[in-house]
Chains A and B, each alone.
Chain A
Amino acid sequence: MINVFRKGWRPAAVLLLLFILWELSVNLAEVPAWLLPPPTDIIHEAVFGWDGFRPHLQSTVLLSLRGFAIGTFIGLLTAVILHLLPFIRESVYPLLILSQNVPIIVLAPLLVVWFGFGILPKLIVITLVCFFPITVAALDGFRQTPADLRHYMLMAGARRGQLFWKLELPHSLPSLFSGLKISATYSVMGAVISEWLGAKAGIGVYMTLASSSFRTDRVFVAILAIMLLSLLLFGGILLSERLLIKWKSRESGRK
């Protein structure tokens, strides 16, 4: 915890300086609030508009978490299948990479046409942006096992399943967590994008309403919320990584 403060004060100071500069220049140049509101306005809106904002935030948090969970599950499942069945890997993996070149913004309206405005198309969007980093990270972890450990396992008579559970899966955990961190941030982004398409509540909806009525301060509140949400998710994954991969954190702690 002390470490966080020691490392964190510099960026925090830079951020504070930036806000002061922003506040001063907006006031001096008399920029209208609908164009660029000063930070104090944004904070004011965040505090006093909280009751109106809360249901939107709640809905987005729920949506991101659900999507992230489904995306993680599907991403892991895909990785395991591709890893254990080389035949499928060779035929499907290139297509998977290709699928990532389709921009989600283009795909999303199509999903609405097919599945309507319910929760399903939204979950599909989030899953689509979430699963790929996890699949790639897990696959890398499965495949890049140290040669000497693999040789020992085989000499000792390990069967395919034992090789996977005792060597490949534990070895992939650090790599898997890097994938999870990327996906967590993506899941919030995916949730907001999917809400733009049409929803009853959510940060995406709140943002659309705010920008169409020139409430720029509210747009900034939404941006702030998205950033904090991503950060929180990221922190949660960092924490579970520390708890789960004890051998690694101690190792780097010694360096």
Chain B
Amino acid sequence: MIQLSVNSLSKSFDSIQVLSSLSFHVNKGEFVSVIGPSGSGKSTIFNLIGGMLLPDEGSIMLGEAEISGKRGSISYMPQTPSLMPWRTILQNVLLGQEIMGKTEPETARKMLQKAGLGGYENAFPHELSGGMKQRTAFIRALLSPQPIILLDEPFSALDELTRHDMQKWLLDIWNEHKPTILFVTHNIEEAIYLSDRILILGSKPAKVVQEYTVPFARPRMEEIFLDEKFLECKRSIHHALKELSFKSD
């Protein structure tokens, strides 16, 4: 079943066209990554889906409903954790639910516990490390009642080791809850490790130039990083991106 579909979406800023008849879809329970050069319009796609911008052309469907220009239809995790410094961790993870109406503090407590944040429910964000803040932001997105989560380069500000831990953690969470996720990243390995499908975006204007189905079964172990097939995947995606930057030069 298709959860989110983006149909021939176009968007320009002033006279610069950023997106040109972009189409893709995400199935229910699927983890889809979007990978593309910097400035290719990935955040713009999220802003359109999130209703912050109106498309010039095209439509965005969530299930059966058209959601262009409708804020609050999706759950969102930004690049920076964006936690409210005056709220405790528990109050922060409940914010998404609070905005939509109903809060479930007990579920939130359980999730924090599982995320290794047990005992930090009443701490304030400045008392947490970068990785803990990102986990808090992700739990907030996971608890929000919307049927799809958009993640915009959530781990790019973290160091390599923390980033790796976070990927593993995210995969565990995904295995348990099977949320529908659209994930933006710069990191090819991250995309392969986490996703079912990878959309490679061309730039200026952006459209999906290649779609790549990741050939690994779930649940995935860390060992796949060393797999021959993994390197092959990496190589072909790298190749596709290389070709893009070559074309745009």
Which residue numbers of A lie inside 8 Å of B, CB to CB?
Answer: 148-149, 151-158, 162, 166-167, 170-171, 173, 245-248, 250-251, 254
29 A–B contact pairs at CB < 8 A? A148-B82, A149-B84, A151-B52, A151-B82, A152-B82, A154-B50, A154-B71, A155-B50, A155-B71, A155-B72, A156-B71, A156-B72, A156-B75, A156-B76, A156-B95, A156-B99, A156-B100, A157-B72, A157-B99, A158-B71, A166-B95, A166-B98, A167-B84, A170-B84, A247-B124, A247-B126, A250-B124, A250-B126, A250-B127
Report the minimal beta-carbon distance from B45 to chain A, rounded to whole angstroms. Answer: 13
Which residues of the other chain, A, contact B144 by a CB distance below 8 angstroms?
156
Q: Give the contact-size bracket for chain B.
A: 20 to 34
Taken together as a complex, chains A and B put the C-alpha atoms of A153 and B126 apart, in Å, by 20
Task: Determine if A152 and B76 form an interchain contact, defined as CB atoms under 8 angstroms apart.
Answer: yes
Nearest chain-B residue to A246 (Cβ)?
Answer: B124
Task: Determine if B86 and A152 form an interchain contact, defined as CB atoms under 8 angstroms apart.
Answer: no
Query: By CB atoms of chain A within 10 A, which of B50, B76, B84 has the most?
Result: B84
Nearest chain-B residue to A251 (Cβ)?
Answer: B126
Query: By CB atoms of chain B within 10 A, which of A148, A167, A246 has the most?
Result: A148
- Chain A-chain B contacts (Cβ-Cβ < 8 Å), number: 66
Contacts A152-B78, A170-B84 supplied; 16 other A-B pairs, CB < 8 Å: A151-B52, A151-B82, A153-B99, A154-B52, A154-B71, A155-B52, A156-B72, A156-B75, A156-B99, A156-B144, A157-B72, A245-B86, A246-B124, A247-B124, A250-B126, A251-B124
CB neighbors of A among B24-82 (8 A): 50-52, 71-76, 78, 80, 82
Nearest chain-A residue to B80 (Cβ)?
Answer: A148
Report the minimal beta-carbon distance from A20 to chain B, rounded to whole angstroms. Answer: 46
* The 9 residue pairs across chains A and B that have the minimum distance between CB atoms: A157-B72, A155-B76, A152-B82, A155-B50, A247-B124, A148-B82, A170-B86, A157-B71, A148-B80
Taken together as a complex, chains A and B put the C-alpha atoms of A170 and B86 apart, in Å, by 7
Taken together as a complex, chains A and B put the C-alpha atoms of A246 and B123 apart, in Å, by 11
Nearest chain-A residue to B77 (Cβ)?
Answer: A152
Which residues of the other chain, A, contact B87 by a CB distance below 8 angstroms?
170
Which residues of the other chain, A, contact B126 by a CB distance below 8 angstroms?
247, 250-251, 254
Taken together as a complex, chains A and B put the C-alpha atoms of A148 and B86 apart, in Å, by 15
Report the minimal beta-carbon distance from A41 to chain B, rounded to whole angstroms. Answer: 51
Nearest chain-A residue to B144 (Cβ)?
Answer: A156
Which residues of the other chain, A, contact B76 by a CB distance below 8 angstroms?
152, 155-156
Asked if B154 CB lies within 8 Å of chain A CBs, one says no
Nearest chain-B residue to A250 (Cβ)?
Answer: B124
Task: Determine if A157 and B73 form an interchain contact, defined as CB atoms under 8 angstroms apart.
Answer: yes
Report the minimal beta-carbon distance from B122 to chain A, rounded to whole angstroms. Answer: 10
Asked if B215 CB lies within 8 Å of chain A CBs, one says no
Asked if B85 CB lies within 8 Å of chain A CBs, one says yes
